[in-house]
Structure 1
Amino acid sequence: MSSMIRKSRDRRGARLAAVALAVGAILLATMVPTGHDPALTPLLCLVCGGKGVADVVSNVILFMPLGLALAALGTRRRRAIFAGAALSLCVEFTQQFIPGRDPSLSDLVFNTTGTALGFAALRLAPRLIDPPAAVASRLALAAAAFAAGVLGLTAASFSPAFPESTYYAQWTPDLRHLAQYDGTVLDVELAGLRLPPPRLDDSPRVARLLRDGQPLRVTAIAGTPPPSLASIFSIHDDRRREIILIGAEGDDLVLRVRTRAAALRLDHPDLRLPGALADFRPGDTITITVQRRVGQAGFCVGLNGGVSCGSSYPVGFGWSLLLYSDRIPKAGGFLLSAGWLAALVAPVAFWARRRWEAALAAAILVGALVAAAAGTPAVSFAPADAVGLTAGIAAGLGARRLAAGRRRSGR
């Protein structure tokens, strides 16, 4: 009897620890100053800003572990959802006083939604862990279709997207959400076409030249290194969408280009040249060139003759569409890409059975991987993908064997 009581206490202690870990992860992700001024959004907006969809999905995912942990602890559904909402409300209130944070109703709504979904997921877990073979194979097929959709979205998202709209050139602009560069732009040309501020009368031609990968050249007088990202030259359109931005952050040279991810209101990486401006002093003349390599990965950025080009992204780089940061080290990016792909593959391996649906699921998954890697130069199969694919299959098969072993021991 005493051993049973001790085991019960141990289980409850482990579940309380899971709740504490979920809360700690939420606080770490939401309460640390970012060092950047956010673009302010209306308080009552639900899908807000240029990365609104990414923010919604990230908020849901962030609070799902809390819902899972509360369900495992035995908390009632209403109390669990209320706890998630209360924690989110406290976070949103505190964010008013944290630099770089912007509280909103959207965060509260979708954080609470994430708690509810996490709670529901654990309640459904017994049905998903040990389904009949026919049901499991259909689940594998659904998981493969979902993974294929994510991989296809990833491959397509990093391609440039220059809309047909009215463009406005901005030389060292004062943008509210960015620092202002104190240097001076002398001239900007796109394939010989000058781009003076503000309105570009031949915007369709500018869009076409950008799509064709024609060279953009900016000649400027260097300013002091800005503490956060500052625009040296940018183009926005009449809908206030950022088309392209060449900027400085400290000694780094930064290029941001509108992609399909931006059109879908997802996050997306920039091209950063660390320390590229370190050898220049205020008052020096700098010439920055940007050119897209048509048929190849990314853009090339030149600075006074030296050129650096962006490389292709791993197939598992889809995580960056939700939350990208240049502060993530290279090793961290490798692990995130591998983990992302593993998370997509593992459910297929877990539910696969010796049925035609599972064979079709495997074919869909392999086809999606090949299409993503070969269909666009922005994405290619990388070592992180090999690690993620192997880890995902191993994790799925291992979890299936573990579940089968527990089922047999329970009999």
Structure 2
Amino acid sequence: MTPQRKFGRAVAIAGFLFIAVLTLTPQYAATKAPPSWCLLCGEQSVLDAVLNVFLFIPFGIGLRLAGMSRRRAFVIGLVTTITVELMQLYIPGRDTSLGDLFTNSFGCFVGTLCADIWRVVLVPSRTAATRLAIGWTLLWVAVLTLSAELTHIALPATTTWGVWTPELLHQDHFNGRVLSATAGGLPTPNAMNGASDDVRSRLSSDSVVVEGSVVGAALSGQYSSISSIYDYRKQQIFMLGQRRGSLVFSLRMRTADVRVRTPIIRLDSVFPRHRPLEPDTMHVAGGVVHRQLWIRAENHGVVRERTLPLDAGLGWSYFLPFDYEYGAEAPWLTALWLAGLVTPALHWATRAGRRALLAVAASLALALLAIPYLAAAHPTPWWEWLALAAGATIGIAIGSATFARAGRRELRP
């Protein structure tokens, strides 16, 4: 057996075990739904579909590298996902759907294609490198443009209701007492007409803030809402609350319209582990201020706050497979994401020649500069420019190293 087939078999086994762990372990805290014939259903159906595709890609890569034909690998992937969906009928908290069959099997097919082209991707010829560099640059522009467009507030044109400390199925109940709360200067829990021009201008302006005053709050486990706003379809518009002692804030953005994950920002260690014997009033707030997510807490005269630019670099957070709130680490994760996106383009551009390298580098920098302004998002902050430079440096280094290595091989007698 060749080393490639041994490696492929190991990847296939690892991919199969990974699929089994993620799809067949019981989820006792989740509510089990009946089998669905829907292809894209649910508030985060596009996110689920993308994750399902990626889940089966390593399995498809392993099967193909192990020596199987593309058709046989696809059939094995299809049979595997059918088996998983049938088993999920009897596993607590797991849901069976027709959409999963399509996305999982498609992921296996994509994996077989990746296994066939890996050499071209890693060490392409000059012509192939030029095409790859151009294609990846266009993909970079598309990803940044979409990410920037999704950062805007999206309000449904319906009546909305403000609710204090709602009791929801998948959330804890806030254990403090709410003294007051407003959203965009409008008092809650009164009903608000989301179709009203005045209400929409208040809640979707460049700066909109949800504020509240609470007393006697202590740490909770899952999300617990202090003040929320919903429409008649129970879509969450704003939520100011806590999770595991942190103050959190989220609002409905265009990410909800395309059914991916909606951003949430957090401020760590705001609420104490135990309820204080002599509770003081705490003032909390969250919102969007000048195209930045903003969150703030004031207690005993001490003010803490955090901001995060709503810019073109947040695309990584829309497709996470788990709940996440932006914290102090978010800018560095964004920088890592952008550097990772830049590296392949500069790797291929280096192998394509100096003219291609200069053109691709200039195009990437121009896109990072222009897209936020064209999409009315926050301008690119300094750490994202640093990430662009770091990713470009790494890509050029990899491209130069592989190109030099190939040249030495050609010179050997």
Aligned to 1:48: 41
Give the CA deviation at 1:147: 0.9
Distance 2:188 2:329 in 1: 40
Aligned residue type for 2:264 = D
224, 242, 253: which one pairs with 1:248? 242
Contact 2:129 2:349 in 1 (8 A): yes
Query: Given the superposition, is the C-alpha separation of residues 258 and 87 from structure 1 closer, same or farther in structure 2, using an over 3 Å criterion?
Result: same
Q: Is the partner of 2:7 in helix, strand or coil?
A: helix
Q: Show the 5 A alignment for 1:81-160.
A: 81-92=74-85, 102-125=95-118, 133-134=126-127, 136-160=129-153
User: 2:184·2:208 contact (CA, 8 Å) conserved in 1?
Assistant: yes
Deviations 1:230-271 (A, max 9, x none): 222211223432211112223222211112222222223311
Give the drift of 1:210.
Answer: 2.3
Task: Answer yes or no: is the 8 Å Cα contact 2:183–2:208 preserved in 1.
Answer: yes
Match of 1:209 among 190, 202, 205: 202
- For 1:160 and 1:350, how far apart are their aligned partners in 2? 37
* Cα distance, 1:371 vs structure 2: 3.0
Map of 1:320 onto structure 2: 317
Aligned-pair distance for 1:56?
1.4
Give me the whole-angstrom Cα distance separating, in 1, the residues matched to 2:175 and 2:89.
29
| Paired AA for residue 141 in structure 1 | I
After TM superposition, give the deviation of residue 24 of structure 1 in Å.
Answer: 4.0
Query: What residue in structure 1 maps to residue 296 of structure 2?
Result: 301
Corresponding pairs, count:
402
Change (3 A) 1:349 1:130: closer
Structure-2 change in CA distance of 1:141 and 1:12 (3 Å) = closer
* TM-score, length-scaled by structure 1: 0.80
1:5 corresponds in structure 2 to none
Q: Is the 8 A contact 1:291 1:301 kept in 2?
A: yes
Counterpart CA distance in 2 for 1:24 and 1:243 is 39
Q: Structure 1 residues 25 and 160 mapped into 2: Cα distance closer, same or farther (>3 Å)? A: same
Q: Between 145-154 and 120-129, report the one with greater CA deviation.
A: 120-129
CA distance, structure 2, for counterparts of residue 121 and residue 314 of structure 1: 31
In the superposition, the TM-score normalised over structure 2's length comes to 0.80
User: What is the Cα deviation at residue 101 of structure 1?
Assistant: 5.0
1:59 aligns to 2:58 (yes or no): no
- Structure 1 residue 346, shift from structure 2 partner: 0.5
Q: Is the 8 A contact 1:342 1:389 kept in 2?
A: no
Q: SS of the counterpart of 1:148?
A: helix
* Aligned position for 1:376: 377
- Matching residue's letter, 1:15: G
CA deviation profile, 1:270-309 (whole Å, cap 9, x unmatched): 1112221116627946444425453252123234463412
Distance 1:58 1:381 in 2: 31
- Find the counterpart in structure 2 of residue 173 from structure 1: 166
Residue 86 of structure 1 deviates from its aligned partner by 3.5
- Asked if the contact 2:176/2:215 (under 8 Å) is kept, the reply is yes
Q: Secondary structure at the match of 1:232?
A: strand
Say yes or no: does 1:364 pair with 2:363: yes
- Any conservation in 1 of the 2:32–2:93 contact (CA below 8 Å)? no
Taking structure 1 as reference, are residues 299 and 36 closer, same or farther at Cα in structure 2, changes over 3 Å only?
Answer: farther
* Amino acid across the alignment from 1:108: L
Aligned-partner Cα distance in 2 for 1:258–1:386: 33
Compared with structure 1, are the counterparts of its residues 185 and 89 closer, same or farther at alpha carbon in structure 2 (3 Å cutoff)? farther
Shift in CA distance, 319/363, structure 1 to aligned 2, threshold 3 Å: same
Q: Deviation of residue 27 (structure 1)?
A: 4.2
Matches of 2:258 and 2:77, distance apart in 1? 28
1:258 to 247, 252, 256: 252
Say whether the 8 Å CA contact 2:208–2:289 is kept in structure 1.
Answer: no
Aligned mates of 1:33, 1:332 — CA distance in 2: 31
Percent of paired sites with the same residue: 28
Relative to structure 1, the CA distance from residue 106 to residue 152 in structure 2 (aligned partners, 3 Å threshold; closer, same or farther) is same
SS at match of 2:15: helix
Q: Pick which of 25-34 and 13-22 moved more.
A: 25-34
Equivalence for 1:290: 285
Partner residue of 2:308 out of 295, 308, 311? 311
Report the counterpart of residue 390 of structure 1 in structure 2: 393
1:144 deviates by 0.5
Question: Structure 2: which 5+ runs fail to align?
Answer: none
Most deviating of 102-111 and 284-293: 284-293
Which residue does 1:4 correspond to in 2?
none
What's 2:340 paired with?
342
CA distance in 2, matches of 1:28, 1:409: 49
Matched, 1:274 2:275: no
Change in Cα spacing, 1:142 to 1:185, as seen in structure 2 (3 Å) is same
Q: In the alignment, residue 361 of structure 1 is paired with which amino acid?
A: V
Distance 2:311 2:17 in 1: 30
Aligned-residue offset at 1:322 = 0.8
Q: CA deviation at 1:178?
A: 2.7
For the residues of structure 2 that align with 1:100 and 1:410, how far apart are their CA atoms? 60
Distance 1:138 1:27, change over 3 A: same
What's the offset of the Cα at 1:114?
0.7
Which blocks of at least 5 consecutive residues in structure 1 are unaligned? Answer: 1-7
Question: Which of 7, 23, 32 is residue 14 of structure 1 equivalent to?
Answer: 7
Q: Secondary structure at the match of 2:157?
A: coil
Distance 1:151 1:390 in 2: 20
CA offsets, 1:141-179, max 9 Å, x none? 121111111122223333433343321222222333333
Deviations along 1:289-332, one digit per CA (max 9) or x if unpaired, are 42545325212323446341222378654221111543899779
Letter in 2 for 1:171: W
Deviations 1:197-250, CA, capped at 9 Å, x for gaps: 4x3246633332222324432234545643311222211223432211112223
